[in-house]
Chains A and B, each alone.
Chain A
């Protein structure tokens, strides 16, 4: 084989190797992106499901009649949105007392536990969503090589901003104004 032939062969072998590596990498990156996006969407749906479960558990624990359960959900959603705002979760307990006058101390405590644990669970689910998005963005989309290949293939294909967490108006306002009032105990 002549000199030129060797150079051409070498270049061809290199090119073939490069193409193989590129194709295998692209397939891997495509699959990783698809899996991550599906998991983020699933986590978002799971958060909604968990949020819905929360008020149902409160209603069930407090033995609130089914006909009032919808009202409780609206109230629960509004008090959660203003979690540390006016009224807070006091309104929930007022509602429960109105619709279950026999709400004794034991049941009252159980409802408190359900609300607290429900919020911890929901907080954990929200953290999962943030963490999944963090890994997808920082470890895949924003890395030099993988990120460029992923972007070339059109990722992200979902609106990551849209699949965000639930927060309260108070929190949003505090982060926008960079100001917050001290908590008032009374």
Chain B
């Protein structure tokens, strides 16, 4: 449908141009315009589809190994340049491609999820050992972003996406990766805990332990001054979280009492959500060790994330935003006008002398080149 809406108007313009410009646009040129426009509109649709469905999830694991690898040099430069003949009165500059080094060295960290992270070199060729690579410890937690297609994000009308918008300030989704493979999984909103660094460190360990086996990304959001129903607003704002997220949202009073708890996760096993919520409520106080133990137990025992394939049917309802629609349509029209202009100016297939516009001919407005030539001679003959 998106394709048709971007393609219909240019198609009419092409047919209009073909009729209007008569001999100047041939049938082959019309076909060429349609093919180029179809490719262009197809590309626009692919970009919109990719942009709307594109999302990132976090894979958690541990550093499995680190290595110093020798690779081909990546520092190319033009060399041995000389002028070469390209015909009569024509010379062009030709250069070979040379490399600065016979090899380069890359400093790689590999994780338990088979991810590779390249540590920045301290010299061009990479011969010197980077201090950051030396500091990498085998077994330390890693969190790395991976892209996936999120059909829910791209389908504003699906029942799995809460409708409406909020004007109040909301916490951002935790995706601030830093130091190559680190991520803070604790979100604080309206509340601040003095041991946030410990929360993050222990959460990283928890995610490293369960990340690969349970394919999970555990996030804790501590929220102050909000009632339980605010959870729904957060769920809407984060579009239910990423596909492998297990988000525990805890409402905390000023004295550190847990006033409410809710869980956000894409799962067909709601027992996990209900049990974790109840377990956290039972703890009562913001006891880090007890809370993390409850999460470990419930995620290990009951968490299973839902596959995005279950939402693949939403592909049919992927809708461009108004801006995307307007920009796409305008670009499509501009390209079609440029194509008409190009075909009108150039004789792409060298067949315009023979071309005949049947519409103008039928209307008595147009004449073929040969007819115009005949008329000219006839005119001179009369004179």
Which residue numbers of A lie inside 8 Å of B, CB to CB?
Answer: 1, 3, 6-7, 9-10, 13, 32, 36, 39, 109, 113-114, 116-118, 120-121, 124, 127-128, 130-132, 134-136, 138-140, 143, 145-146
State the Cβ distance, A1 to closest chain B Cβ, in Å: 8
A9, A114, A130, A139: which contacts B316 (Cβ < 8 A)? A139
B372 within 8 A of partner (CB) = no
B160 within 8 A of partner (CB) = yes
Q: Given contacts A3-B356, A6-B27, is CB(A121)–CB(B269) below 8 Å? A: yes
The 5 A-B residue pairs with the shortest CB-CB distance in the complex, in nearest-first order:
A120-B270, A117-B271, A117-B270, A117-B274, A139-B316
Set of chain A residues within 8 Å of B269, measured between Cβ atoms = 117, 121
B67 within 8 A of partner (CB) = no
State the Cβ distance, B269 to closest chain A Cβ, in Å: 7
A1, A131, A140: which contacts B159 (Cβ < 8 A)? A131
A142 to B137, alpha carbons, bound, how many Å? 59
Set of chain A residues within 8 Å of B278, measured between Cβ atoms = 109, 113
A13 to B272, alpha carbons, bound, how many Å? 61
Whether A3 and B361, one on each chain, are in contact in the complex, defined by CB atoms closer than 8 angstroms, is yes
A9, A117, A131, A145: which contacts B158 (Cβ < 8 A)? A131
Q: List 30 A-B contacts (CB under 8 A).
A: A3-B368, A6-B358, A7-B358, A10-B358, A32-B316, A36-B316, A113-B274, A113-B275, A113-B278, A114-B271, A116-B274, A117-B269, A117-B272, A117-B273, A117-B274, A118-B270, A120-B270, A120-B274, A124-B268, A124-B270, A131-B160, A131-B313, A132-B313, A135-B313, A135-B314, A135-B316, A135-B317, A136-B316, A139-B1, A143-B1
B310 within 8 A of partner (CB) = yes
A114 to B270, alpha carbons, bound, how many Å? 9
A9 to B31, alpha carbons, bound, how many Å? 13
Knowing that A120-B274, A131-B313, A134-B159 touch, tell me 13 more A-B residue pairs with CB under 8 angstroms. A7-B358, A10-B358, A113-B278, A114-B271, A116-B274, A117-B271, A117-B272, A117-B273, A118-B271, A130-B159, A134-B157, A136-B316, A139-B317
Q: How many A-B residue pairs have CB under 8 A?
A: 70
- B 353-369 binary contact with A (CB < 8 Å = 1; else 0): 01110100100000010
Whether A120 and B313, one on each chain, are in contact in the complex, defined by CB atoms closer than 8 angstroms, is no
- B 154-185 binary contact with A (CB < 8 Å = 1; else 0): 00011110000000000000000000000000
Set of chain B residues within 8 Å of A136, measured between Cβ atoms = 316
Set of chain A residues within 8 Å of B274, measured between Cβ atoms = 113, 116-117, 120
Set of chain A residues within 8 Å of B356, measured between Cβ atoms = 3, 6
B160, B270, B354: which contacts A121 (Cβ < 8 A)? B270
Whether B313 and A121, one on each chain, are in contact in the complex, defined by CB atoms closer than 8 angstroms, is no
Set of chain A residues within 8 Å of B31, measured between Cβ atoms = 13
- B 14-31 binary contact with A (CB < 8 Å = 1; else 0): 000000000000010001
* A125 (CB) vs chain B CBs: closest residue: B268
Total B residues in contact with A, Cβ cutoff 8 Å: 28
State the Cβ distance, A51 to closest chain B Cβ, in Å: 14
B4 within 8 A of partner (CB) = yes
Which residue numbers of B lie inside 8 Å of A, CB to CB?
Answer: 1, 4, 27, 31, 157-160, 268-275, 278, 310, 313-314, 316-317, 354-356, 358, 361, 368
Set of chain B residues within 8 Å of A134, measured between Cβ atoms = 157, 159, 317
Is chain B's binding surface mostly helix, strand, loop or mixed?
helix
Set of chain B residues within 8 Å of A124, measured between Cβ atoms = 268, 270
A146 to B1, alpha carbons, bound, how many Å? 8
Set of chain A residues within 8 Å of B313, measured between Cβ atoms = 36, 39, 131-132, 135
Set of chain A residues within 8 Å of B272, measured between Cβ atoms = 117
Most buried by A among B158, B317, B361: B317
Set of chain A residues within 8 Å of B271, measured between Cβ atoms = 113-114, 117-118
State the Cβ distance, A48 to closest chain B Cβ, in Å: 15
A7 to B355, alpha carbons, bound, how many Å? 11
B4, B273, B354: which contacts A145 (Cβ < 8 A)? B4
A10 to B4, alpha carbons, bound, how many Å? 23
A49 to B160, alpha carbons, bound, how many Å? 21
* A122 (CB) vs chain B CBs: closest residue: B270
State the Cβ distance, B109 to closest chain A Cβ, in Å: 39
A146 to B361, alpha carbons, bound, how many Å? 37
Set of chain B residues within 8 Å of A138, measured between Cβ atoms = 317
Whether A13 and B27, one on each chain, are in contact in the complex, defined by CB atoms closer than 8 angstroms, is yes
A6 to B278, alpha carbons, bound, how many Å? 78
* B155 (CB) vs chain A CBs: closest residue: A135
A41 to B213, alpha carbons, bound, how many Å? 33
A135 to B312, alpha carbons, bound, how many Å? 11
Most buried by B among A10, A36, A114, A127: A10
A128 to B151, alpha carbons, bound, how many Å? 14
Q: Given contacts A117-B271, A117-B273, A124-B268, is CB(A3)–CB(B159) below 8 Å? A: no
Set of chain B residues within 8 Å of A131, measured between Cβ atoms = 158-160, 313-314
* A1 (CB) vs chain B CBs: closest residue: B354
State the Cβ distance, B22 to closest chain A Cβ, in Å: 12
A32 to B313, alpha carbons, bound, how many Å? 10
A53 to B70, alpha carbons, bound, how many Å? 57
A145 to B2, alpha carbons, bound, how many Å? 12
* A128 (CB) vs chain B CBs: closest residue: B310
